[in-house]
Structure 1
């Protein structure tokens, strides 16, 4: 008797813009969504710490091929810094490593923010997923090793002080680029202000190109488990999905014929003709009848497919 293969999930495709709850890991969230949707594969764009809440875009099925184009998108966070303590994780979860009775004045905080706007050098937290000689920094830190991570360039588009609810806390909003660690901002603010600091609350409200209004609370998805009819339940879940093609707003769009779509799906290049053919070279995406067919490169008057999507 032959071995029975592992049961595969269904080939559902699209992006779910999850409102991740606090104290729930990103990997845990992806597993939960994959199970709820009975999807064959899933992945996320931009890890959120368990102590952070908010937007976690999760790609299902063929949409996982578009993850790199969301990873590079701008992100907006609202976060609270607690003054007076530095912690080894730079958030509430860690051990206190330094303390101060000093508390910053609002004017001093606002005067500091221009130094953190634009392209800046930032040292990621020791407890982060950055790899050092093939090992994750957080694994080394948990093992008691002294972790030295080199500074890297990140871009802060804007940062705003939203308020100071009391002497011990300040609330900020930051819009930033890929690779920015908000926990590192809290750490560095505290050091520069001579009072130490760490993140006490963190919420991500945007990952471009998704809007805050597109977020779906996990509780709303879980509640659909009460629907006994599986077909109806899955249809209700699928209604929350954003088509993969809608996240590729940063790429030029090429509309093609059915015959050209067939060639691309076979892995072949197509010749681009007509007045609407792109002149510039570089990455682009091809659509047929409004559906995403391929992501590829335009060069020499041709479109060369790199990632092809099943219809």
Structure 2
């Protein structure tokens, strides 16, 4: 595969703590320049807060045409909720705005989780990127303005405590790998790994795993779970383990990304464009159909079920996203490979 083809693909970054999504895109552009690849079109497939870690799909070249699909895809997160304190940002940053002496039992938390599974309404955090009258909510909140956020519908496909392994929640893995704690200025007073508590004993913190639709705010979910068990809370750890078709097994560290700029092989860094299409079926196109689809023409007389496909030519190269309806193929988004 030639260099041009390889640059029409993906870098799946295991985003470290403290790095913003826009900074991550900038890092990819810088590394590509260092590798002598010149100017490369780069975009990301779903914002991660600086205080969050994990899977950040970064698209290059023609793969940037799939960023919209990635933003619409469901995500899986591991997150820790610390009970007893609510902060302005609902995370480890910001001033404390509410406190409570109530600590729920593990059983009490588990009992309310079904309320937050399925289609739900949630109020996004005031410190979010949602625009209100053309201005980001977090910009208004940081200026001390009263920000009224409207409830929105989202879907939580699943929500449960993270399974325990050897008595320690697997969410504690991030602690061992150096992803915790955050900078000293934002570090909570103490850090307790979620452990099974004796029956009837309250827990300071619990680690959960959630599979959610686009637009779901984990910080809001944590806040509402705390309210449901009669206390307040905030997120102390947030890690995205899957975004659309991509998961941590495909993710690379920032160090490995930087190594590419110093001469590491492209094959260790990049995934092909079609790696972002594994959740929809491929459709093999004849040379005649491929030629027509490349030119944006409608192609008829194809025996296939209705639905969305990605078309590929006789060399297995992606041609376009295609909508099939009654044997007619129509281009949704073409790829210029």
TM-score under structure 2 length normalisation: 0.81
List alignment gaps of at least 5 residues for structure 1.
1-9, 228-232
Q: Contact 1:83/1:168 (CA < 8 Å) preserved in 2?
A: yes
List aligned pairs for 1:232-271, cutoff 5 A: 233=264, 236-271=265-300
Q: 1:295 aligns with which of 304, 311, 321?
A: 321
Partner of 1:13: 8
CA deviations on 1:140-178 (whole Å, 9 max, x unpaired) are 211222111211111111111235348321111111111
Q: Contact 1:69/1:248 (CA < 8 Å) preserved in 2?
A: no
155-164 vs 213-222, greater mean Cα deviation: 155-164
**Matches of 2:87 and 2:96, distance apart in 1:** 4
List alignment gaps of at least 5 residues for structure 2.
34-38, 163-168, 170-193, 198-202
Q: Contact 1:125/1:184 (CA < 8 Å) preserved in 2?
A: yes
Query: Is the partner of 1:270 in helix, strand or coil?
Result: coil
Partner of 2:23: 28
Question: Within the alignment, does 1:67 sit opposite 2:103 as a pair?
Answer: no
Q: Contact 1:221/1:237 (CA < 8 Å) preserved in 2?
A: no
* Greater RCO (CA < 8 Å, at least 6 residues apart): 2
**Matches of 2:64 and 2:217, distance apart in 1:** 24
**Matches of 1:298 and 1:224, distance apart in 2:** 40
**Matches of 2:258 and 2:333, distance apart in 1:** 32
How far is the alpha carbon of 1:238 from its aligned partner?
A: 4.6
Query: Is the partner of 2:271 in helix, strand or coil?
Result: coil
Q: Contact 1:34/1:60 (CA < 8 Å) preserved in 2?
A: no
CA deviations on 1:233-276 (whole Å, 9 max, x unpaired) are 4xx13543222223223434321123322222222222233xxx
List aligned pairs for 1:39-118, cutoff 5 A: 39-118=39-118
Partner of 1:7: none
**Matches of 2:332 and 2:230, distance apart in 1:** 51
How far is the alpha carbon of 1:82 from its aligned partner?
A: 1.3
Query: Is the partner of 2:258 in helix, strand or coil?
Result: helix
**Matches of 2:67 and 2:31, distance apart in 1:** 20
